Structure 1
Amino acid sequence: MDRNTLPFLRVAARNRLRERKLRRVLGPDLGRPVSWQATDNPLVGETAAIFESSHDVHKWSQYFEAYDAVLAPLRDRPIRMLEIGVFRGGSLEMWRKYLHSDSLIVGVDIDPGCATFDDPDRNIYVRIGPQQDTAFLRGVIDEFGPFDVILDDGSHVNSHIIDSFTFLFPNALADSGAYMVEDIHANYWWTHADQPATFVDFTTSLIDAMHAHYFSTVGEQLFHAGDTKRETAIQVPFATTIVGKIEFYDSIAVIHRRNRDLPRSIFRA
């Protein structure tokens, strides 16, 4: 068997298993097969309008809803944005048009040719290096961070996405910042499957991390404000204290950073 076909066969087998499990878990009503017809409805939203007037930028139509939801509340002030993946520079121009005029936009890419899009006079900066190289990323953070928004539109390789996130989310993202990972449909394609665990798999661990303070506790009383049995401190992973919200759109995940208080239960008679 050709070694090049092995990743395809592994991912194809994994997807078949996932599909069978999905139908079983969803049950007969939610899991029944239907025909989903293609449509070409007009693009909607402010980012979509800017996209329509831009060049050298490639986006999926469903992304604009996520962009507007995350970025619109930030447009009235200067922010710092890091985008992994520069390609032909079109998305940097798109964010330059959309964000506050004093916002700082940084792109990173492995392609040396992308350095031509570096434009300090317009607060656009490009640095060349691998997205999974933490030493390179540390230099970007020291030079430009912390960032209010980080958007991973880079290699889409499973290990690269996870390695970038596990370093940048705790070290480069400002409190109340948003970390967006797009094109996660590539998680289901063999072309980007360099390891069995996908970023989608990884996010299930983030969901568990959000709730890790319940692992070793039983009962609401341990969180009830004013109760003598209330826990005053619980050992948890660091992620538990800073992952504030996780959102999924089609092919985009958004993980919000927020320094969290240990939850408490409050009763009002």
Structure 2
Amino acid sequence: MNWIHSSKRFFNNFQREILAFIHRKNLGKLSPLYDDSKWEPGHWYAEHYQRHFAPLRLKKLKILEIGVGGYDDPKAGGRSLRMWKKYFRNSLIYGIDLVKKKALEENRIKIFQGSQTDESFLRDVLAETGGLDIIIEDGSSSNEAHIKTFKTLFPALNEGGIYAAENIHHSYWPSLSGERWSSLAKGSIFLENWIGCGGSLDLNDPKTLMNMYKRLVDGLNYQDFLRPGYSPSYFDKHIVSIHFYPNLVILYKGNNDKPSNFIENNALRPFVLEKLGVESLEELGLEFSLDNSTPECTHLELSKR
């Protein structure tokens, strides 16, 4: 009986590897072969990743995915890491998980154990990996953890790097408090994350991760803010595009330094004032806010690799 099961498992793995080789260029077909959640109903990430990642498939990249999968089982998970390895055949694939997942490591796949919100741990990870080219956030359900991770790791991207944030639906799920829920979730990473999402029923709640990303959209146009004294954030200056999909946000890093035609240092250029027939902004009778509207980041020192 064991021989039959072993033979069946061998045949299934062999068949999957053959199909994976055939479909190695297409994440939409590759993802289901690895039973990966990125092609499950409610997610459908693979088709969007294909659009953004296809031009990079053969490059030598450093890719980090937060969340290995398999929850508390040290031998379970790693399916998406293997999928990325197959798709990005010349790249190094890194994973981060709270649970020790060393058993899932293989050639070109390395997994670090630690919390995605622990800056000291992340500093150690980056000391080993150096700058990253793609970061995929598929870890904690907590809005607070997600936001902190983004603010910490986005600066670690190389120029032209991509940050993909999954599970944006957690923005809309408020935490469940009380002894009943705490008892139910005790000992389960999945349930602890779920009841502690920290989202909100208020679509404009500034503490949710979706609202953080919506605020970053304004930063794309910071050169056109008519706000004298405005100090652009790191994200204003280094996010060059943001793409929104259901439950997924993809951001590109670069130099967002293209000047405005009419604004300089967040004030009207002299020729615009002249056309308006005034000598200063004060004559327009406008009230200007000096508060920054976009989030700030956390900088970690990176080793050069």
Return the letter of the residue paired with 1:46.
N
Instruction: Report the equivalent of 2:198.
Output: 194
Q: Secondary structure at the match of 1:148?
A: strand
Superposed counterparts of 1:10-49, under 5 Å: 46-49=26-29
Change (3 A) 1:262 1:217: farther
- In the alignment of these two chains, the number of paired residues is 202
Instruction: Report the equivalent of 2:102.
Output: 115
Tell me the alpha carbon deviations over residues 85-115 of structure 1, each in whole angstroms, 9 at most, x when there is no partner: 001010011101111x220000000012x22
Q: Secondary structure at the match of 1:200?
A: helix
TM-score (norm 1): 0.70
TM-score (norm 2): 0.62
Cα RMSD (Å)? 2.1
Return the letter of the residue paired with 2:137.
D
- Shift of residue 68 of structure 1? 0.4
Instruction: Report the equivalent of 2:267.
Output: none
Superposed counterparts of 1:149-164, under 5 Å: 149-164=134-149
- Shift of residue 151 of structure 1? 0.2
Could you tell me how far apart the structure 2 residues matched to 1:212 and 1:51 are? Answer: 38
Superposed counterparts of 1:72-91, under 5 Å: 72-87=54-69, 88-91=77-80
Return the letter of the residue paired with 1:242.
H
Matched, 1:251 2:231: no
Matched, 1:129 2:133: no
Return the letter of the residue paired with 2:97.
D
Instruction: Report the equivalent of 1:50.
Output: 30
Runs of 4+ in structure 1 deviating by more than 6 angstroms, as ranges, are none
Instruction: Report the equivalent of 1:103.
Output: 91
Could you tell me how far apart the structure 2 residues matched to 1:71 and 1:82 are? Answer: 14
Return the letter of the residue paired with 1:194.
G
- Shift of residue 195 of structure 1? 6.0
Could you tell me how far apart the structure 2 residues matched to 1:258 and 1:54 are? Answer: 32
Stretches of structure 2 that go unaligned for 5 or more consecutive residues are: 1-24, 70-76, 175-194, 201-206, 263-305
For 1:211, which of 202, 211, 221 is the aligned residue? 221
Could you tell me how far apart the structure 1 residues matched to 2:81 and 2:224 are? Answer: 42
Q: Percentage identity across aligned positions?
A: 32
* Contact 1:213-1:235 at 8 Å conserved across structures: no
Return the letter of the residue paired with 1:193.
C
Could you tell me how far apart the structure 1 residues matched to 2:141 and 2:60 are? Answer: 28
Instruction: Report the equivalent of 1:4.
Output: none
Stretches of structure 1 that go unaligned for 5 or more consecutive residues are: 1-44, 219-232
